[in-house]
A and B are shown apart, each in its own frame.
Chain A
Amino acid sequence: MKFDPQKSFGHPVLRPGSEDYVHADFQSGIGFGINEKNENQYLLSYDVAIGVKELRDLITAKRGAVQIELNCRTTFYSRVYEINFLKGAVPIEANLVRGGLEICCYVTAKKIIAGFTSPKINSEFGKGAITFPRYAVLACEAPIYYWVDREAFRNITSIFDYGQDPELSEGVWRLNLEEDRVQIILSPNQLAILKQAQNSKQNQAIIINAIIFGAVVEIVNTLKVKNDFVGRRWAQNVLAKCSALGVQLGDSANAIDVAQKLMSKPLATLNSLVFKSGDDN
């Protein structure tokens, strides 16, 4: 259902941007993310607040229901979830959805509801009781959009590969953005040193801060100004991850800030694994 605050339903509908009810809101508190307990699922979380007591009473009396509709245009997947509690989460199988998701929360009438009144109904509807037809929409929120790609929830380091260039000297590295994974190019000797070093968590934290962080900053700066790489797998992954984190890659985006978000504060990892890991004495 397309959301339109100006649409006339023939009865009051609690929704943002509409004056059908006065001084009353409807909020769904929708969230969407990977299910930490099962990586093959997403979790659609909700925390619904209905600012009209009489509508809440309809739900309690099972004459109305709160429903969340999820639509995925890419996979042609659509489902309506009737929820029994105003706060909770429903699992979504990750292999059913991809790309853009539209999620919208509703309150609908489960049966014909006659004699409905509320002091919050706009007086333009008159003073008499209102009858809602069966299945009528009683409240709805503007849809919320998410962009999902399973790879977006993987660690950002999954977009990197190491490559070799014998011409490079030890201690020097450069990036190659032309492949599906970003290549960190090193001399064969340097690569051997890094591979050996990766065996400890402490060293991994150092590599992440010394090399990967710089690479991610460069990637973010590149994606801010160039569309050339959008078709690359690594770029799609970064863009999807930005979308999942609500990060905009516009002109004003600060690459250092964005990189820290994408990498979940890499300095904090260095703090906990290297700087604070030893005996303080």
Chain B
Amino acid sequence: MKARFIKNSAMRDLRAQVAINLRRYQSGDFSELLDKANLGGMYFELNDSEADLDLLAKLEGPETNDLKEAHNAHIVYRAIKVTPYQAKDERLWVYLCHTAGLDFIRKRHPKIMSPNKDEAVKEIIQRFFIVNGHRGYERSNALARLWSYGDLASKNKGVKLDRTLEVFLYQTDVRAQIIERPSTFTNPNVFAATMRFMFAKYKSEEKRKKFFNRKEGEMPAYRRLFTRLNELGGIMLLGAIPPQDLDRLVMSAAKQVGAD
């Protein structure tokens, strides 16, 4: 089916009535509210978009220490086929979060179920709506953030998406460090070269520990590498460098900061 976008007026109403609708968020659903759409009102569809709700139903909640981030990002990115322009429309995610994503969000973000009403409302606003601009899409909204990871990982051409996501999302801080350095890592060539370097580290148990793990009182190797790449991006136009030379540059940067 085509992706649905909630209408602005309906979105404003939902946002204003989170506390009133608390029970719906915690154990009910919004079908009664959003089904009005069929009578001509609460959402619209865009022709050049697609939402595979069967695939979205495969989203998984956390298990012990595994948040299933890579699996879920893979699902959301494949299920929601929209352009980057459409993906930065709050209305898309608000509709999905209040419909197909509702069960998953309860499992993944259990603060929504908090008996403390204020805490629950705060969490719902973060996870079901877009707050704080870019951060809302990349960090907070329960589904938009997963799509954003899939979109970024898809820039690593020639490598299977799930494989890139596995390494990119292996550690929360690695992902955060990359996303928070947009001037360096938005360029697909730079991102791909960095991912190739990280794959090599990820493959070996020993190298993986050395590169990804934190030691007390020491900046992790990946952070040192990203900081160095950021510095190099301040004096070179990294995005203009061909892939093979970028691989060499990343390797050399890693050596310079002891992250090789």
Please give the residue numbers on chain A whose beta carbons come within 8 Å of chain B beta carbons, in ascending order: 1-2, 4, 7, 9-10, 65, 67, 69, 71-80, 82, 94-99, 106, 108, 134-137, 150, 179-180, 231-233
Query: Inside 8 A of B238's CB, which chain A residues have their CB?
Result: 1
Question: Does B234 lie within 8 Å of A99, measured CB to CB?
Answer: no
The yes or no answer to B236 lying at the interface (CB within 8 A) is yes
B83 interface neighbour in A65, A76, A79, A96, Cβ under 8 Å? A96
Known contacts A76-B182, A78-B186, A232-B8; A96/B84 CB under 8 A:
yes
Given A80-B237, A135-B241, A73 contacting B7 (CB threshold 8 A): no
B residues near A (Cβ < 8 Å) are: 7-9, 12, 48, 83-88, 134, 148, 151-152, 182-183, 186-188, 233-241, 245
**A-B pairs with beta carbons under 8 Å apart, 11 shown:** A67-B240, A69-B239, A73-B186, A76-B84, A76-B182, A78-B187, A79-B187, A95-B83, A136-B235, A231-B12, A233-B8
* Cross-chain pair count, CB within 8 angstroms: 92
Of residues A9, A10, A77, which shows the largest number of chain B Cβ atoms within 10 Å of its Cβ? A77
> In the complex, which residues of chain B have a beta carbon less than 8 angstroms from the beta carbon of A73?
134, 182, 186
Given contacts A2-B234, A99-B88, A135-B236, 7 further A-B contacts (CB under 8 A): A69-B237, A75-B84, A76-B151, A80-B239, A98-B84, A137-B236, A180-B7
Which residues of chain A come closer than 8 Å to B187, judged between CB atoms? 78-80
Closest B residue, CB atoms, query A76: B186
Cβ contacts under 8 Å, B88 to chain A:
74-75, 98-99
Q: Is the CB of B240 within 8 A of A179?
A: no
CB distance from A101 to the nearest CB of B (A): 12
B85 and A78 within 8 A (CB): no
The chain B residue sitting closest to A77, CB to CB, is: B84
Chain B residues, Cβ within 8 Å of A233: 8
Chain B hits for A97, CB < 8 A: 84-85
Do A180 and B85 touch (CB < 8 A)? no
